Amino acid sequence: MSQNRRVGVIGAGSFGSAIANLLAENQKVLLYEHNKDAAAFLRKERTVRNFALHQNVEIAESLEQVASNCFLLFPVVPSAYFKNMIIDFSPYLRPDHIMIHATKGLHCEFDIEKADAKTISLKEIKTMSELILQETGIVRVGCLAGPNLALEIMEKQPAATVIASRFNEVISEGQAALRTERFQVYGSKDILGIELSGVLKNYVAIACGALNGLGYGENARALLITRGMAEMIYIGKALGADKRAFLGIAGIGDLIATCTSPKSRNYSVGYRIAKGEKLDDILRDIGEVAEGVRTLKIGKLIVDHLGASAPLLQTIAKVLFEDLAMERALKFLMRYPVSADAEYLDI
């Protein structure tokens, strides 16, 4: 891609800023931050969590400026705010834009706090790519997912990701924009599977953080990760995804990274809950969205609606939202019967 061409990033949180810095190694970047005070701080200080923004990153004045100057767009906005962002953005978007989102969450057309699992419709639960197609005239849509801890990317450590899309052009443009000597970019046509891989691993990371917070070791964590991946595959299959996505870098790769690193917000939530802290206090202290908490709420609605068995998800949801003691939850999960190893390969 031309050094003179700009790429747009929407969302200047930790991950959005990390993606902006990566992109800036190959071309100029317009980075948009919705909060005016935060945007002013970025223009003046040019730092995010003590990391400097690349010199090729310019803080945009508006979504209109981003849309008019960039044809390749990377929204990196928490799922709870994604629809409002895309609606605000849509008047400026054109059919020739390419949009690759990096949001690891789901959107619900209903209030997840008041919803009844028996009466919800799964059609009202959407991935971010589905929201983009629904709310804009953009056709060429993709997603980005993988073991991409923002802090390590900002530290310029080696990493990789997957860009998924039905369109070869989306994958090739995304690869050209993002790939560097230390950042590898793979491609996939299974956009639903890749999106759900990035979403579902979040609650497994919360469980792994809790496990370590209680002092359990690597044997127990390996068991939890393996059975967590099996559960992700079952839920993904029920929603129409191919199991292969969960076995690649956006699935097991991302799962390992977020389930083993204290740098993961979801891991940190579980760890601190196991240490006796309250969920509201933890989320307020983190200051950024831990998508796993929202994933747990939506995931429980899905599995309860389907009448499916997802013991890890359902049990961790009880810990976070129904005050089930973590020690009791782990004892239940250890006793839960499993008929065979890697049985999900046969589905």
The conformation of residue 253, written as its DSSP 8-state character, comes to I
- Record the tokens describing residue 28, joined without a space: 């100029």
Q: Tens digits of per-residue pLDDT, 291-347?
A: 888 899 999 999 999 988 889 999 999 988 888 888 888 778 777 766 666 666 666
What single string gives the DSSP state of each residue in 287-301?
-S--HHHHHHHHHHH
The residue-averaged pLDDT of 62-67 equals 97
Q: Is 44 helix (H, G, I), strand (E, B) or coil?
A: helix
Quote the CA–CA distance of 267 and 121 in Å, as a whole number: 30
Q: Tens digits of per-residue pLDDT, 161-176?
A: 999 999 999 999 999 9
The answer to whether residue 290 scores a pLDDT higher than 80 is no
Residue 29 binned pLDDT confidence (cut-offs 50, 70, 90): very high
pLDDT for position 288: 66
pLDDT for position 325: 86
- Which CATH fold would you assign to the domain 6-189? Rossmann fold (3.40.50)
Percent of the chain with pLDDT over 70: 95
The residue-averaged pLDDT of 207-235 equals 90
Instruction: Work out the angle at residue 287's Cα, subtended by the Cα atoms of residues 283 and 288, and round it to the nearest 5 degrees.
Output: 90
The residue-averaged pLDDT of 105-110 equals 94
Question: Would you please indicate which residues are annotated as catalytic (active-site) residues?
Answer: 201
What single string gives the DSSP state of each residue in 17-28?
HHHHHHHHTTSE
Parse the chain into domains and list their residue ranges: 6-189, 193-346
Which residue intervals of 156-290 are DSSP H helices?
Answer: 168-178, 191-213, 218-238, 254-260, 265-274, 279-286
Q: Tens digits of per-residue pLDDT, 36-53?
A: 999 999 999 999 988 999
- Which CATH fold would you assign to the domain 193-346? N-(1-d-carboxylethyl)-l-norvaline Dehydrogenase; domain 2 (1.10.1040)
Nearest to residue 106, comparing CAs of 252, 237, 296?
296
